[in-house]
Amino acid sequence: DFVMTQSPDSLAVSLGERATINCKSSQSVLYSPDNKNYLAWYQQKPGQPPKLLIYWASTRESGVPDRFSGSGSGTDFTLTISSLQAEDVAVYYCQQYYTTSITFGQGTRLEIK
């Protein structure tokens, strides 16, 4: 089983400051033949379904603001919001798609300090 563990569980950041969310996979999600990391990030606001932010660990989905960026490789990944906006308050999830049984992290709740 691929277990995805996010840290921290919750985070409070001041407006305009940087927010960093981590995701660790129990096994590598880097596929050597294509050198791609099979990892995505989602944002879920209260009462809404999740929204895709990033795939291949660092490729932003169309329409996602460039203050959102993804990095990392192998088992350790980071979602960074460079300058937190009020509308970024949400729960963020990572997801691996390396295996046919996709799994999500437990989520990180991001709030305004």
Q: How many of the chain's residues bind another protein (CB under 8 A)?
A: 21
* Interface with another protein, residue 40, by CB under 8 A: yes
**Of 17-25, 40-48, 63-71, 73-81, which part binds another protein (CB under 8 A)?**
40-48
CB neighbours of 108 closer than 8 A, spacing ≥ 6?
6, 7, 8, 9, 10, 11, 21, 91, 92, 93
Number of helices and strands in the chain (H, E)? 0, 13
Looking at residues 51 to 110 of the shown chain, list those that interact with another protein (rule: CB under 8 A). 51-52, 55, 61, 93, 95, 97, 100-107
CA 17 to mean position of chain CA atoms: 18
The binding site for another protein (CB under 8 A) comprises 38, 40, 42, 48-52, 55, 61, 93, 95, 97, 100-107
